[in-house]
Chains A and B, each alone.
Chain A
Amino acid sequence: MSGLETNEGRKKLALFGLLTPPTIFLGVFFLVPLGIMVVYSFLEPGLYGGVVWNFYDLNYGRILGWADSRYEQFDPVYLIVFLRSVKLALTTVILSLFICYPAAFWISRMSDARKSFFLFLITLPFFVSLVVRLFAWVLILRPTGFLNQGLMGAGIISEPLELMFTNTAVVIGMAYVFIPFMFLPLYASVEKLDMSLVEASADLGATRLQTFRRVILPMTLPGIIGGSIIVFIPSLGNFIVPSVLGGSRVLMIGNLIEQQFLSARNWPFGSALGMLVMAAVLVLLMVYVRIMTKEEEYANATKVKEG
């Protein structure tokens, strides 16, 4: 380090050169737009898609309970859509967790060469276009799709099942698309799991359920929580999957936001809806940080005891 520090001035210049261009770029095109969006969510929508520069908290009021009495009565429909989105996102998290958890154990016990091959296979779909992967599910779930044709051909059903445009279709689609997001953090903590502790627990007379609850689950918890958050965030604000697999029947908060911007042209209200999504994500992250610091404190405490 000492050799590099002989020339303080030069070093400062280098740092300045490295940081200035990206800082200006991100300041103008990232921070400023986000700031404007926050401001917009407190502005009054104009008549034909514009804004009136007045402070106006009724965008939030319209969602949360105090609507602009000049135009409308409070209607909880936005809150209902938001809560439905939370529900669908949570269901997606749980489904993808159940799909990925056993697979993570399976792969973690393989030999190194096979392990890296199978990990490659799991990350590969991430490189396949999202629209293409969703399109595949349209082909499968449509009334004339693969699943219905198969079931009808086998004589199990006589009329096609309504699979498209349902909550189930949206959840399956999101879980499918986000599998790599769930799998990788999960795998990272499953792989670290010390099998000798599992054996010790069994030797000491714990039942399988007890071993799972007291040993395996707590030790893989960081991966479970990490994966859940990475899947929950893009699921909550998603509008692509619900508009392809949910049609007009499964409306999520993302669809509402899209409508406000591209058809209803009420940008302040759309921004307020967006802020709601952001608030939900922030609350979740705060809970996550809380849990993680507790875990760490606990780990440190036990370490001190051992030492």
Chain B
Amino acid sequence: MKIKKLLRSSILPIYGYFFFAFVYAPILLIVVFSFNSNPVNMMIWENFTFDWYRAIFGLSAATTESALYLDSTDQLYEAVKNSLTIALTTTAISTVFGTAIALAVARFRFRLKPFYRALMFMPMIMPDILLGIALLIFFVSVGIQLSVVTIIIGHCTFLISYVFIVVSARIADMDDALEEAAADLGANSWVTFRRVTFPMILPGVIGGALLAFIISMDDLVITYFIAGVDSQTLPVFIFGMLRRGIKPEINAIATIMLLFSLIIASVGLYLRSRK
């Protein structure tokens, strides 16, 4: 029995490290090989180089082979710009709406409450592709031109739910005695909200906003259906590149995106640890 226990206690950690290797090795591979100068086979290490990074910033024509991609540098910038515009606007709208519904559901009594709960739950259980095609049919049949605006609308429809869930969780953890005390001490409901409720739910609101921003930046499925010809986002752009065949520049773009995601994730974590 003792030997068995020992075996078990050492097998589990060994498995655990394999598990993390499985999760992280593919990501690390991209980072390492983004500095590989071999243009023919990007998985055979040749020399250390910054060429691919220079190429995507339009600083050098690294090889003639990648000429195809140099043409698309402008497209890449456009995609990054679109992604940021969409993510920032979406975050603002869905944070306000999601928080409003969360407050209403948690702090008021009304008959339609189960309806709102179900409404907020729907995007969670619906495969993304359905929302994508539903929005495409809607925009086209109503006659709205597909653009950055339609993508913003599309992202908000499901990100409101994410914000709702994060903020609701925060409200549920909260002690409502403080709000009652404020009211008893004569604060009207607006003052109570501004001075007591809002500061208390703020970490939840920020958390929800960060989550919305990240998901909006990364959304591919819904965006893919409702992006017009000249409103590509970064994920749609890269997806297109992947479908056409892969080139070393993608490694460099992916590494930069990776860095960006890590920064946002660390900011989120830092904010959480401060609360």
Contacts and interface: CB of A to CB of B under 8 A. Distances in A.
Given A3-B180, A40-B137, A244-B243, A237 B97 contact: no
A285 B24 CA distance: 32
Interface string B240-261: 0011001000110010011001
Nearest to B116: A19
A30 B135 CA distance: 8
Interface stretch (A65-73, A138-146, A216-224, A294-302): A138-146
B68 interface: no
Nearest to A237: B127
Nearest to B235: A131
B122 to A, nearest CB: 8
B100 interface: yes
B180 A145 contact: no
Contacts of A240: 220-221, 239
A106 B12 CA distance: 6
B130 A136 contact: no
Interface in A110-168: 120-122, 124-125, 127-140, 142, 144-146, 149
Nearest to A153: B44
Name A's interface SS: helix
A257 B104 CA distance: 37
A273 B184 CA distance: 57
B136 interface: yes
A15 interface: yes
Contacts of A146: 29, 43
A278 B160 contact: no
A103 B30 contact: no
B43 A237 contact: no
Interface string B106-150: 001010000010010011011111110111111001000000000
Interface of A: 1, 3-4, 7, 10-11, 14-15, 18-19, 21-22, 25-26, 29-34, 36-37, 40, 99-100, 102-103, 105-107, 109, 120-122, 124-125, 127-140, 142, 144-146, 149, 176, 179, 233-234, 236-240, 243-244, 254, 257-258, 261-262, 267, 270-271, 274, 277-278, 281, 285
Interface of B: 12-13, 15-16, 19-20, 22-24, 26-27, 29-30, 33, 41-44, 97-98, 100-101, 103-104, 108, 110, 116, 119, 122-123, 125-131, 133-138, 141, 153-154, 156-157, 160, 179-180, 183-184, 188-189, 192, 214, 217-218, 220-221, 224-225, 234-235, 238-239, 242-243, 246, 250-251, 254, 257-258, 261-262, 264-265, 269
29 contacts: A3-B180, A7-B189, A11-B189, A33-B131, A36-B137, A37-B130, A37-B137, A99-B19, A102-B19, A106-B13, A121-B24, A127-B264, A128-B261, A129-B235, A131-B220, A132-B257, A134-B242, A135-B242, A135-B246, A136-B30, A137-B26, A138-B246, A139-B251, A142-B43, A244-B242, A274-B129, A274-B133, A277-B129, A278-B127
